[in-house]
Amino acid sequence: MASADVFVTTEWLAERLDAPDIVVVDGSWYLPAHGRDPHAEYAERRIPGALRFDIDAVKDTSSELPHMLPRPEAFAAAVGAMGIGDGMRIVVYDGLGLFSAPRVRWTFKTFGAKDVVILEGGFPKWQAEDRPIEHGPPRSRAARSFTARLDHSAVADAGDVARALSEGTAQVVDARPGDRFRGEAPEPRAGVRSGHMPGALNLPATSIVQDGRLKSPEALAAAFAEAGLDLDRPLITSCGSGVTAAILSTALETIGKPARALYDGSWSEWGASDRPLATGPANKA
């Protein structure tokens, strides 16, 4: 898998901003600790023509879990109303450089979009290069038809993860910070226990991102190996709520070792249930 299939540069996008078959999507989403409002930031400044995609709005509204994937027909209706249709190239960015954009890209691809890429360096790089910024009310696009077909194989549920761990059919890698994984720090969501799934391994997403970009392929492969992961065996990515897990999935894709699936419910689901829990460092044996 070439990096060009996953990322585009700011130079590339700047030359094609007015192309009718390209749609730019602001997929910014922040943790409470970031102290930032993605809606206010989008309203104030954005890449010209960018649409706002909110993972907390386009979600399964029947689930109490955060930003779970919606049903295909709901996703199709939501993005079609935004002006995103079949056959368009979708370029996703976020306000941290590389944080929530991978989750948005994974969502579109899981629903069948063929051509979805991430803006390398995101909005911070775009701004640092003094590229065009749009202010005021966003432009509207005519509604389009988007055909959504959910790729069930790309999405793991709690049962899939439990079987993978008990039967050894796949490795589970958790993107949360080490102190949360080890159970040394509380979870940010009420009612969610501290710790990790017995048998899961830990690779914090922050450890493979530098200056809003993924580290080099060599550094990525080394980081996965150091975490105890065998890149020749199937992997399921997880995190707190399915956002930073997508950073790991993106990293795996760029080095030609795509993840089998992403655990959509992640620790928000597992940690709030009565499923087995472990604390302390991961057992890499």
Catalytic machinery residues: 239
DSSP class per residue in 3-71: GGGTEE-HHHHHTTTT-TTEEEEE-----GGG---HHHHHHH-BSTTPEE--TTTSS-TT-SSTT----
Distance CA 184, CA 178 (A): 8
Alpha helices (H) along the chain: 10-14, 38-44, 72-82, 101-110, 122-128, 158-167, 178-181, 217-226, 245-254, 266-270
- Would you tell me how many other CB atoms lie within 10 Å of the CB of residue 141? 14
Helix or strand (DSSP H, E) at 234: none
- Would you tell me how many other CB atoms lie within 10 Å of the CB of residue 144? 16
Residue 199 DSSP SS3 = coil
List all residues 6 or more positions away from 188 whose beta carbon is below 8 Å from its beta carbon.
31, 32, 33, 240
Q: What is the CA radius of gyration of the chain?
A: 18
- Would you tell me how many other CB atoms lie within 10 Å of the CB of residue 22? 17
